Chains A and B, each alone.
Chain A
Amino acid sequence: GAVVSQHPSRVICKSGTSVKIECRSLDFQATTMFWYRQFPKKSLMLMATSNEGSKATYEQGVEKDKFLINHASLTLSTLTVTSAHPEDSSFYICSARDPRGTIYFGEGSWLTVV
């Protein structure tokens, strides 16, 4: 089946630094990708919708300048957490919509800010 790959799967960074997470659709071209955040034992919270070649659409309450999203190609979207703080520690998951409309998720990335 379709595969969406995220990298890195785990990352630890120091407070105040920036960290980038990549999301790739391996089997199909994805004009739309999504970024989610998930807290322990909670459901997925949509952060932003990423469209190839245009600016991302952020959900209410999500800081655009803190969570930078770039969708430079039809197979790659990146999420950069800028000036990370411990409260940004979380599980971040991306998804991509295939041409048939099915949405596949990546394996997720654990971010720990120390």
Chain B
Amino acid sequence: EDQVTQSPEALRLQEGESSSLNCSYTVSGLRGLFWYRQDPGKGPEFLFTLYSAGEEKEKERLKATLTKKESFLHITAPKPEDSATYLCAVQAPRGGYNKLIFGAGTRLAVHP
């Protein structure tokens, strides 16, 4: 059965305190792993797509990596504006379509 597990569920950091969020997945036929940021009451904002093990992508203070079983979202020297829920999703073919299967998210709070 397809499964996407994110940890930790919630994370509190001090401004400047680097950390990593984890996304473990079990899915057959992976067609990409997506990271999104979601602010309260808003739709998810696209961050990265990773397609193959060993791939890395960076954007400002964020860096995403991918292995065959998990992905990490590294946050370097976070700022309060990085506070949000970070969602991981895997895309796989199901029933003739490519579907996104989401994890439950990690709620990140960065305090000054």
Contact = CB atoms under 8 A, between A and B. Distances in A.
Given A49-B97, A103-B34, A105-B36, A43 B104 contact: yes
B100 interface: yes
Contacts of A68: none
Given A6-B43, A107-B42, A44 B102 contact: yes
Contact of B99 (A6, A42, A49): A49
Candidate in B95, B99, B103, B104 with the most chain A CB atoms within 10 angstroms: B99
B5 to A, nearest CB: 11
A1 B102 contact: no
Contact of A105 (B45, B96, B103): B45
A67 to B, nearest CB: 17
Given A57-B95, A108-B43, A43 B87 contact: yes
A81 B45 CA distance: 25
Contacts of B100: 34, 46, 95, 103
Given A49-B97, A57-B95, A93 B46 contact: no
B41 interface: yes
Q: State which size class the interface on A falls in.
A: 20 to 34
Given A43-B105, A101-B49, A106 B43 contact: yes
Contacts of A108: 41-43
Given A101-B32, A103-B34, A44 B49 contact: no
A78 interface: no
B44 interface: yes
Given A51-B97, A105-B45, A108-B43, 13 more contacts: A2-B46, A32-B97, A42-B104, A57-B97, A91-B41, A93-B44, A95-B44, A103-B34, A103-B46, A105-B44, A107-B43, A108-B41, A108-B42
